[in-house]
Amino acid sequence: MALPVVTLVPAAAQMSDPTITTPWLVDAQLDPASCVPEEGTGAYETLKAYGAKPLRQQRIPREYFKMDAVERDARIWALRRELGDRLVVLGHHYQRDEVIQFADFRGDSYKLSQLAAAQREAEFVLFCGVHFMAESADILTSDRQKIILPNLEAGCSMADMAKGDDVEAAWRAIGQAGVDLKTVIPVTYMNSTAELKAFCGRNGGIVCTSSNASRVYDWAFERGEKIMFFPDEHLGRNTGVTKGIPEDRMVVWDPFKPMGGLTVEQIRDATVILWKGYCSVHARFSVEQIETARAEHPSVNVIVHPECRLEVVQAADSAGSTEFIIDTITAAPAGTVWAVGTEINLVNRLNAELPDKEIFCLDPVVCPCSTMYRVHPSYILWTLEHLVEGEVVNQIMVAPAQAREALVALDRMLAVP
């Protein structure tokens, strides 16, 4: 895997330099500090492997930060026209409107992967999402196509909670606890690095999404007795509960504790071993917020993402993937009221696009996905200007051997009925 050489300066230095304005860093939405811990998140680890320091924003020339928004957008549209069919822009639902306006297609991580794979003609796919999504797009597209992530710092704090070495160590420890590893099926959520998808590919495992997790559990239990699920503890548990697995048969592996913080008996008796990871956005939603919404809006329908904690999912009226949330609210009768437990940019967009319904976010503090938020129109302009000049910057490439193993796990998922 070869990433371009990038020169970076600390975000703190950018912020203290009055000649540099970084509007998205000082946007009121990014307060409070509880959104996402910055250290150790995002694409830091990947960047570190290539000698870059762990910083919050990839550095691009100052003029991009200072540019008038109208002029900047006009230049992006002009470059898009110049590149024509050579370029496809994909936008994740959690991207801000200033970014999503440029997307040819919108979707959640799974839908965007499928869309990326379907773009046989496009030479370049500009992926306005986060790092693991661009990796999956690279795995699923042809070698001829180039996947570009506008800001290399746009990672996913959840994906970063399960490191390849830690998962390998846990796998070995489970074997040493006396469990026959042939009976354990590793399942990784789509929101994980290519390294973990490859781990699943070579160990008889599979990838799942929030849409098909239940069917993937069926697939796994047809082939084994136990599931090791990572990196999202909550999606793993919520899915297990829907399959009737008792909560005490689902244990949590903490990678910071010896033997994951579990006894040998707990490991042997478990039906599902969940990785201790979570989404910083969805873990914020609470039962108290649902109670408040019901008190203030007696006719409210509460719909949440399955990355929320179990008690939140159980207190809601329905739970499902981002696409499920969009489809459900879109199909609902006019005049209905919806309290939504997912990322704020999507909730605000639904509210704007479906004015016949009342739609609001469950979390009054409003926490965006701050790693998604690192994609900004200035980065889009910077990458497109390079493309037009014949230089590909910020290309995401998965090493061929790893891509082959990851594709095995992805193909197993795609074959699940």
List contacts with ligand SF4 (CB under 6 A).
94, 130, 156-158, 191, 279-281, 343, 369, 371-372
Q: How far is the CB of 105 from ligand SF4 (least distance, A)?
A: 18
Q: How far is the CB of 216 from ligand SF4 (least distance, A)?
A: 17
Residue 8 in tokens: 């970076």
Q: How far is the CB of 16 from ligand SF4 (least distance, A)?
A: 27
Alpha carbons 355 and 212: distance in angstroms, whole number? 30
Task: Compare residues 179 and 308 and give the one whose CB is closer to ligand SF4.
Answer: 308
How far apart, in whole angstroms, are the C-alpha atoms of residue 134 and residue 287? 34
Nearest to 155 by CA among 192, 210, 110: 192
State which residue, 32 or 51, has the beta carbon closest to ligand SF4: 32
Torsion angle in degrees (nearest 10) through CA of 15, 16, 17, 21: 30
Closest to ligand SF4 by CB, 83 vs 108, is 108
| Exposed / middle / buried, residue 195 (Cβ in 10 Å: 0-12, 13-18, 19+) | buried
For 127-159, give one letter per residue: b (16+ CB within 10 A) or e: bbbbbbbbbbbbbbbeeebbbbbbbbbbbbbbb
- Among residues 95 and 383, whose Cβ is nearest to ligand SF4? 95
- What torsion do the CA atoms of 343, 344, 348, 354 make, to the nearest 10 degrees? 20
Q: Rounded to the nearest whole angstrom, what is the least distance from the CB of residue 30 to ligand SF4 in the complex?
A: 13
Residue 370 structure tokens: 């701050």
Identity of the residue, 171 or 278, whose beta carbon is nearer to ligand SF4 in the bound complex: 278
- Shortest distance, position 341 Cβ to ligand SF4, whole Å: 12
- Name the residue with tokens 């197993």: 412
- If we measure between CA atoms, which residue out of 141, 144, 116, 119 comes closest to residue 129? 116
Nearer to ligand SF4, 191 or 402 (CB): 191
Q: Specify the residue for token string 């493309």.
A: 387
Nearer residue to ligand SF4 within complex by CB, 34 or 263: 34
Distance of closest approach, residue 133 Cβ to ligand SF4, in angstroms: 8
Between 93 and 146, name the residue whose CB sits nearer to ligand SF4.
Answer: 93
Residues 6+ away with beta carbon under 8 Å from 79: 381, 384, 385, 387, 388
Least distance between ligand SF4 and beta carbon 228 (Å) = 19
CB of 308 to ligand SF4, least distance (A): 11
Q: Whole-angstrom distance between the N-terminal and C-terminal Cα of the chain?
A: 33
Q: How far is the CB of 42 from ligand SF4 (least distance, A)?
A: 9
Write the CB contacts of 362 (distance below 8 Å, at least 6 apart in sequence): 285, 289, 290, 293, 302, 304, 339, 340, 341
- Taking CA atoms, 416 is separated from 14, 209, 216, in Å, by 48, 12, 7
